[in-house]
């Protein structure tokens, strides 16, 4: 690839060409699907949660190279976090982990954050007990 020019940096290209965690989860505990009004991209994230911790995450994305890379990276970052930690996940973590995105593509990382939040909301709706603050009745 040394004599190849690329539209995105190496990390983004790697996650686009070799996406991590691509697919769906059978019997997922939470699923979020969101669309970007700006460009029309659509992202879907499925989560498996055990004892309040995200054990597995999968994505499917209809979108450009940076949208696919953003969802790939987001699922990598979110795995192993507790639901509470994951609720404060931000798109900036995705941008940083990818080594930056072109300004016009930052919204792709926002879409990844929104997809994760939507999947977490779905999980909390299905598991109301998990939404109770720790130490509560």
Partner 1 sequence: MRVYLDHLATTPVLPEVFEAMKPYFTEAFGNPSSLHQHGLRVRDALAEARRRIAALINAESPEEIFFTSCGTEAANLAVKGVAYANQRRGNHLVVSATEHPSVLSSVEFLEKQGFTCTRVGVDAEGWVDPEAVRAALTDQTILVAVHHANHDIGTIQSINEIGRITGERGIAFFVDATTSGGWLPIDVQAMGANLLSLSPHRFYGPKGAGVLYRNRRARLVSVLHGGVQENGRRAGTENVPAIVGSGVAAEAARVELPQRIAHTGRLQRRLWTALRERIPYIQLNGPEPGPRRISTSLNLSTEFIEGEGQLLLCDLNGIAVASGSSCVSKSLKISHVLAAIGLDHALAQGNLILSLGKDNTDTEVDYVVETFAGIVAKLRGMSPMWDEFQRGIIDSVINPTGRGRSFAEHAAAVSGKGAG
The residues that touch partner 1, with contacts defined as CB under 8 A, are 4, 7, 16-17, 19, 22, 24, 33-44, 60-65, 67-68, 104, 107
Please indicate whether residue 64 is annotated as part of the active site: no
- Smallest separation, CB 120 to partner 1 (Å): 16
Decide whether 17 or 87 has the Cβ nearer to partner 1: 17
Nearer to partner 1, 108 or 124 (CB): 108
Directed axis angle between helix 10-17 and helix 65-78, to 10°? 90
Q: What is the DSSP letter of 3?
A: T
Q: How far is the CB of 92 from partner 1 (least distance, A)?
A: 20
Which entry of 34, 49, 83, 108 is annotated as an active-site residue? 108
**Cβ closer to partner 1: 10 or 82?**
10
Q: Between 77 and 118, whose beta carbon lies closer to partner 1?
A: 118
> What is the C-alpha separation between 49 and 83, in angstroms, rounded?
8
Around 135, how many Cα atoms within 13 Å sit in the side-chain half-sphere? 0
Catalytic residue among 39, 42, 106, 130: 39
Q: How far is CA 129 from CA 11, 46, 55, 87, 126, in A?
A: 39, 20, 18, 16, 9
- Give phi and psi for 62, each to the nearest 5: -105, 105
Q: Distance between CA 122 and CA 47 in Å, rounded?
A: 10
Name the residues annotated as catalytic.
39, 108
């Amino acid at each position: 690839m040394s004599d190849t020019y690329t539209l995105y940096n190496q990390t983004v290209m790697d996650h686009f060409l070799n996406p991590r965690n691509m697919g769906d989860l059978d019997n997922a505990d939470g699923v979020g699907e969101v669309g970007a009004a700006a460009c029309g991209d659509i992202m879907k994230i499925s989560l498996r949660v055990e004892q309040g911790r995200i054990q597995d995450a999968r994505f499917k994305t209809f979108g450009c190279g940076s949208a696919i890379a953003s969802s790939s990276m987001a699922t990598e970052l979110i795995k192993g976090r507790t639901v509470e930690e994951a609720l404060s996940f931000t798109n900036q973590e995705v941008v940083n982990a990818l080594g930056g995105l072109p300004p016009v593509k930052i919204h792709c990382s926002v879409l990844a954050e929104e997809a994760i939040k939507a999947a977490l909301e779905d999980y909390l709706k299905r598991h109301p007990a998990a939404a109770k603050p720790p130490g509560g009745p």
